[in-house]
Amino acid sequence: MTLIIAIKCKDGAVFASDGQATAFSSGGPVRQKYQKIYKIKNLLFGASGTIGTIQRCRECVEKYADKLSESLDQSIREETINGRVETISVRDKVRQLVYSINKRELERYKAFHDDDKGAPLADILIVLCSGEEGKLKIWHVAPDGGEEFLDELGYACTGIGDTFAYAYLANFYSEELDVERGKLVAYRVIKDAINIGAYGLGEPIDIWTVKVTKEDGNIKTNIRQLSQDEIFALNDAYLLWKESERKVFDSLRIPAIQSPK
């Protein structure tokens, strides 16, 4: 199981996940540590779902990563089965590939189990800076190839516990949130989801940052994975935050309201 969140900040973005995966063996499901966020050229890729399906979708994104970073709507030409040459945007090409991979897995699973419940699908989140304007995008590509850009909302989640994460982010997010505080918010959302007991989630927590700068008129994307020491420091700040909340709550005085006679 997985929980991945992306947060757009005023000076960049934060991408975070839990670190536990469920693999399937002949004896049953096996819990193991697994990296869920990947740097691919100038973008970050993460997905919830089944490991094998995610791997195949990641390979598709790797193939087109350079073009995606240049422009999501950049045209590519390809030859069809009938020998015709067609033009399609790289954005739609990736969507087609994600759809076809998930569709094949769904059909295979249903043919074997007589039911599509629990089919091994992949739900994808990508953080990238596409185009010359240098604006960060949070791109969600669903298993059916549907898409949405969630940078206008400011954050996105996928995986088990995503409803919990959305509720937290709605309280903590603001357009003035910077990357430094965004890292702490991301850590808290993942940590609390693990602690409160969303099934299948576990440590280590993995956090990445994205910052975009302009140098000599050119856009530069700086992507960095937080070190273990930085994660430990976030845990210290998280504990202080929780303690401060408890103290504020304990100090609240709720005025008594008399019931009408």
| Token pair for 104 | 């094949």
Is pLDDT at 13 greater than 90 in this prediction? yes
Q: Which domains does the chain have, with CATH numbers?
A: 3-250 (3.60.20.10)
Q: Name the E strands within 34-111.
A: 37-40, 43-49, 75-79, 85-89
> 27 pLDDT band (50/70/90 cuts)?
low
For every residue of 26-48, DSSP letters joined together read TTEEEEEE---EEEETTEEEEEE
pLDDT of residue 256: 75
Mean pLDDT score of the chain, rounded to an integer?
Answer: 89
Query: Could you tell me how many helices (H) and strands (E) the chain has, helices first?
Result: 5, 14
Quick check: helix, strand or coil at residue 96? helix
Least confident of 24-38, 67-81, 109-123, 206-220: 24-38
Tens digits of residue pLDDT in 157-214? 999 888 889 998 999 999 999 999 999 999 999 999 998 865 778 889 999 999 988 7
Is pLDDT at 230 greater than 90 in this prediction? yes
Query: Which of 65, 194, 210 lies closest to 135 in space, CA to CA?
Result: 210
